[in-house]
């Protein structure tokens, strides 16, 4: 490499270093990272049958403790043993979630649905919600809410993935709000054990008349059902190592559709006419 070219390369590398150190204020960051040795920052409500507890499970990818929901024999459809949730301080337009889940080896799927978790838009907490659940044992991601015409779902993706009982899975999701409201261009991506099973870019999380401003609450609320039916024996569902972040979670699969928020800090233009002393 010629001396002049080497100088230009050094200047370019210096510029890259400067660029990488520019803070992107207002974005990113882990909101919660819980191993469920305790409930930590997670709120709990609507306890039924003492159903939500911290329990030891050495088979967890994050042993020893996990979050356990207990469904006793005779448990009626349409209920959850408890809700364990996390509410971030302010609504966000995009976030990433990672958690592990396991159905007990004797798990009895409800004939209609078994919910895992909900993401609520706020501040109304009712305009829209996203849910991860199983329908007839097959995993589903859906979006809906009472603000939608006749209460119907606005979006539902059923990737035909049926989790095995008695086995831990890693689940990742990435959601990004549609913009403007009323336009079906929101993002929903989901991975199981780092394999993408949902890749949607046409989700309408919020209708044009919604008063909500973003995603805010995340609840583990494993409703058994659908109405009707009841458990014929005791069984359990487990969750562990829940991470929620407004930026990509380190070590998790990268989304296909990363739409970076605008960088508010001024980005310098490429320096001109610089030379390296002593060259």
Q: Which stretch binds Ca ion (CB under 5 A): 14-22, 25-33, 58-66, 205-213?
A: 58-66
Q: Which stretch binds Ca ion (CB under 5 A): 60-68, 71-79, 129-137, 202-210?
A: 60-68
Reported as half-sphere exposure (CB side, CA atoms, 13 A), residue 264 has a value of 4
Could you tell me which of 257, 120, 125, 128 has the C-alpha nearest to residue 181? 128
Q: Pick from 35, 44, 201, 229: which binds Ca ion (CB under 5 A)?
A: 35
Q: Is the CB of 38 or the CB of 183 nearer to Ca ion?
A: 38
In the complex with Ca ion, which residue's Cβ is closer, 127 or 240? 240
What tokens were used for 217?
């609450």
Residue count of the chain, please give it.
279
- Give the contact letters, 101-140, x = binds to Ca ion (CB under 5 A), - = no: ----------------------------------------
Give the SS3 label for residue 170: strand
CB 61 within 8 A of CB 170: yes
> 65 or 157: whose CB is closer to Ca ion?
65
Q: Which DSSP helix (H) or strand (E) runs through 17?
A: helix 3-20
Q: Minimum distance between the CB of residue 36 and Ca ion, rounded to whole angstroms?
A: 5
Q: How far is the CB of 108 from Ca ion (least distance, A)?
A: 25
Structure tokens at 226: 């659908």
Find the binding residues for Ca ion in span 226-255 (CB under 5 A): 240
Q: How far lies 171's CA from each of 21, 74, 107, 241, 256, in Å?
A: 32, 29, 19, 11, 16
* Residue 62 in contact with Ca ion, rule: CB under 5 A: yes
* 3-state secondary structure (DSSP) of residue 157: strand
Minimum gap (Å) between residue 104 Cβ and Ca ion: 17
CA separation for the pair 78, 156 (Å, rounded): 20
Minimum Å distance from CB 161 to Ca ion? 24
Q: Which residues bind Ca ion (CB under 5 A)?
A: 35-36, 62, 65, 240
């Amino acid at each position: 490499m010629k001396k002049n070219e080497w100088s230009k390369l050094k200047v370019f590398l210096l510029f890259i270093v400067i660029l990488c150190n520019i803070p992107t204020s207002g974005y990113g960051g882990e909101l919660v990272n819980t191993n469920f040795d305790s409930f930590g920052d997670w709120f709990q409500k609507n306890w039924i049958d003492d159903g939500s507890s911290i329990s030891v499970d050495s088979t967890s990818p994050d042993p020893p403790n996990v979050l356990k929901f207990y469904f006793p024999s005779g448990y009626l459809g349409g209920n959850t043993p408890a809700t364990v949730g996390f509410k971030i301080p302010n609504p966000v337009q995009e976030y990433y979630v990672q958690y592990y889940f396991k159905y007990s080896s004797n798990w009895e799927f409800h004939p209609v649905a078994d919910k895992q978790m909900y993401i609520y838009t706020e501040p109304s907490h009712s305009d829209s919600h996203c849910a991860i659940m199983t329908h007839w044992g097959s995993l589903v991601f859906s979006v809906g809410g009472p603000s939608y015409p006749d209460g119907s779902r606005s979006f539902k993706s059923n990737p035909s993935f049926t989790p095995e009982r008695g086995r831990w899975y890693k689940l990742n999701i990435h959601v990004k709000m549609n913009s403007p409201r009323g336009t079906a261009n929101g993002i929903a991506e989901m991975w199981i054990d780092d394999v993408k099973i949902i890749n949607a870019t046409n989700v309408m999380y919020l209708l044009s008349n919604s008063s909500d401003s973003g995603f805010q609450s995340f609840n583990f609320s494993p409703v058994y059902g659908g109405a009707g039916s009841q458990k014929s024996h005791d069984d359990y569902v487990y969750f562990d190592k829940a991470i929620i972040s407004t930026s990509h979670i380190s070590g998790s699969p990268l989304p296909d559709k990363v739409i970076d928020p605008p960088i508010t800090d001024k980005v310098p233009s490429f320096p001109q006419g610089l030379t390296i002393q002593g060259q």
